[in-house]
Structure 1
Amino acid sequence: MRVGVALVGLGAAAQPHARSLLDLEDRAEVRWAATPSPERAAAFARSFPFPVTTDVEAAIGDPAVEAVILLTPPGTHLDLAERCFSAGKHVLLEKPVELTVARGERLVAAGRRAGRRLGVVLQHRFRPGSLRLREIIGAGGLGPIEAAWTLVPWWRPQSYYDEPGRGTMARDGGGVLLTQAIHTLDLFRSLVGVSEVVAAAARTTGLHRMETEDFATALVRLGDGAPGTVTATTAFVPGAPERIEIIGRKASASLVGGALRVQYLDGTAEALEAEGATGSGANIMDFPIDAHRALIAEFLDACREDRDPAIAGEDALASQRLIEEILRAAGFPPGSSERVAEGSRSA
């Protein structure tokens, strides 16, 4: 039996979800694609064959809708998710969970109280290279981790930040870490763990006019105590694939975009090629939908099987908490330390 789905929010983020749902038509029935914007509704209807409405409340309240995919700005997530949970719907939420960890915790708690399932779109975990690397680590193939680092050298032109609300605390809740690098940070944290932020720095470079950071770097301690580093930017023109590299006692692993290379000390090696571009440059939608499709399929299975999805709300919040800790250690943006510290204390 197919799961009845409503898409809420029809901006750019809706494209890979809608395309994925077309591929998953044997598992999901899109009952509504909803936005309060008549212009966005009309544009979406020209591209996809789903029923479109500007009545978001009606879409959420439709008894045939079992799950809602929320693709709206993060500051709207708490209110919309609470309305979905109250209507008895499961929720798949575009990252981040909310503007702050504190608001995200309220959202996660609302889902638990309602007995509904909550998933978060952090699709990098579903790339084939990511899945294989997790298998290798889980089987002890790398041995004890001695060090690891991640780098997100992306590019966004000023025109990207000239769009209303882009790069502001009020709409996005943060800059490169929360809006772009969260996918790679989440994958990095889920693979090797991060137990502590030792030191950090963040800034807005001269390449952009924006409120939040377009460069951040941190020295961290991994889950087993080994050293690690995190660096992310949207000021590296023209943009390059994100990477995660791990030094183990038995092998070293390099995950560049979706391409995996593992070199073992005994001289053997394995490789898994990437599935395509990663959206690292000016064209933010330049990536394949395979990982989105796999994540949505797993979420639909979780709804049917009445279990938590692979990336549940609490798990996603752990990655968002790491971002807040990095920004607090960096003291960025000026005056934000108290706000971030308050959110972290409530965690």
Structure 2
Amino acid sequence: MTRKLGIAVIGLGPASLPHSKSLLDLAGRAEVRWAVSRTPDRAKAYAQQFPFPTTTDLDAVLADPTVDAAIVLTPPSSHLDVSALCLEAGKHVLVEKPLELTSERGQRLVDTARRTGKTFGVTLQHRFRPASLRLKAALDSGELGSVEAAFLTVPWWRPQSYYDEPGRGTLARDGGGVLLTQAIHSLDLFRSLVGVSKVVAAQARTTAIHRMETEDYVSALLETGNGAPATLVTTTAAYPGYPERIEITGTKGFASLIGGRLRLAFLDGREEVVEAEGSTGSGANIMDFPHDAHRAVIADFLDAIEQGRDPAVSGEEALASQRLVDEILQAARRTA
């Protein structure tokens, strides 16, 4: 039998919940050797929820030869430093989104992963939802024909109490606002489906609804990979929060992906629906979603290690989505 891969979960904040639930599901393939937090109280609280050994000693974890890979769930501002330590210690790394605070730091992280030769992936789990996979297949196979127009909207909600937490909505901790922190999932999925070849124009602002450093509203006119027009609207000021939506007009049909539910309507009269697995965290409860897609991300990461390939969402893929965020915000600054 192949030995189970030893996993260290680093960072035990809210993002650790779906990852840890997923690792319980994948116990036949991977074993959590350590769950790491720099805060003893957080490690203690985590140990009451999950049956994994906890520690505050990251150096000891990195020196543990039974740890093959690390899942890094620390704040974005620490992704480069923590992930680089893991990679240099010979561990494969799966890091939470966004890749880093800036594309420059993200590039450094990707370069470190390539230099060390370790498997490196990023948690952008919306690509792994069943409806997303079906839509991707419909586009790749030509079932929908050529893309003639596309639309992305993320009408989410975050209360002021969310941004009152230390560092939330700041450049120093999060690297950006709605586009990089919340809408990055949908933007990454959108880019993987239709491509984005050009940012035509954009607007970004902080509404009067929130007190925060970064933006809570962004809109943009884009061109898809084949030059078709596309529109983007994202916000965390749409109370009480609604599912994100991707709509694609093709020469052979129309696709509507709302949250995790897909409806395909073909010009020949056929229709197809893929139902959602659950909510998508669009409202005040940021963890209000099933962990199925996280489990799929981790399973793909384990497959990539075993097969010696890149994960489906590699560092380069995540970096391309982050660079698109940069382009949109740069265009917004030009028109401000």
TM-score (norm 1): 0.95
**1:85 paired to 2:87:** yes
Partner of 1:340 in structure 2? Answer: none
Question: Which runs of structure 1 show a deviation greater than 2 angstroms over 4 or more consecutive aligned residues?
Answer: none
SS in 2 for 1:21: helix
Partner of 1:170 in structure 2? Answer: 172
- State the shift of 1:61 in Å: 2.2
After superposition, residues 38-77 of structure 1 pair within 5 angstroms as 38-77=40-79
**1:148 paired to 2:128:** no
- State the shift of 1:107 in Å: 0.4
Aligned mates of 1:151, 1:62 — CA distance in 2: 45
- State the shift of 1:59 in Å: 1.4
SS in 2 for 1:331: helix
Structure 1: gaps (5+ residues):
335-347
- State the shift of 1:57 in Å: 1.6
Partner of 1:270 in structure 2? Answer: 272
Aligned mates of 2:115, 2:227 — CA distance in 1: 35
* Partner residue of 2:19 out of 17, 20, 24: 17
Partner of 2:161 in structure 1? Answer: 159
Partner of 2:226 in structure 1? Answer: 224
Aligned mates of 2:14, 2:199 — CA distance in 1: 33
> What are the superposed Cα offsets for residues 161-205 of structure 1, whole Å, 9 maximum, x if unpaired?
000000000000000000000000000000000011000000000
The code of the aligned residue for 1:265 comes to L
Aligned mates of 1:105, 1:290 — CA distance in 2: 29
Q: CA RMSD in A?
A: 1.1
- State the shift of 1:281 in Å: 0.3
- How many residues are aligned here? 334
SS in 2 for 1:324: helix
After superposition, residues 312-327 of structure 1 pair within 5 angstroms as 312-327=314-329
- State the shift of 1:96 in Å: 0.7
After superposition, residues 159-198 of structure 1 pair within 5 angstroms as 159-198=161-200
Bigger shift: residues 17-26 or 58-67: 58-67
The code of the aligned residue for 2:323 comes to R
> What are the superposed Cα offsets for residues 267-326 of structure 1, whole Å, 9 maximum, x if unpaired?
111001111100000000000000000110110111111111111000111000000111
- State the shift of 1:2 in Å: 1.1
TM-score (norm 2): 0.98
Structure 2: gaps (5+ residues):
none
- State the shift of 1:81 in Å: 1.3
Partner of 1:344 in structure 2? Answer: none
After superposition, residues 205-224 of structure 1 pair within 5 angstroms as 205-224=207-226
SS in 1 for 2:154: strand
- State the shift of 1:39 in Å: 1.1
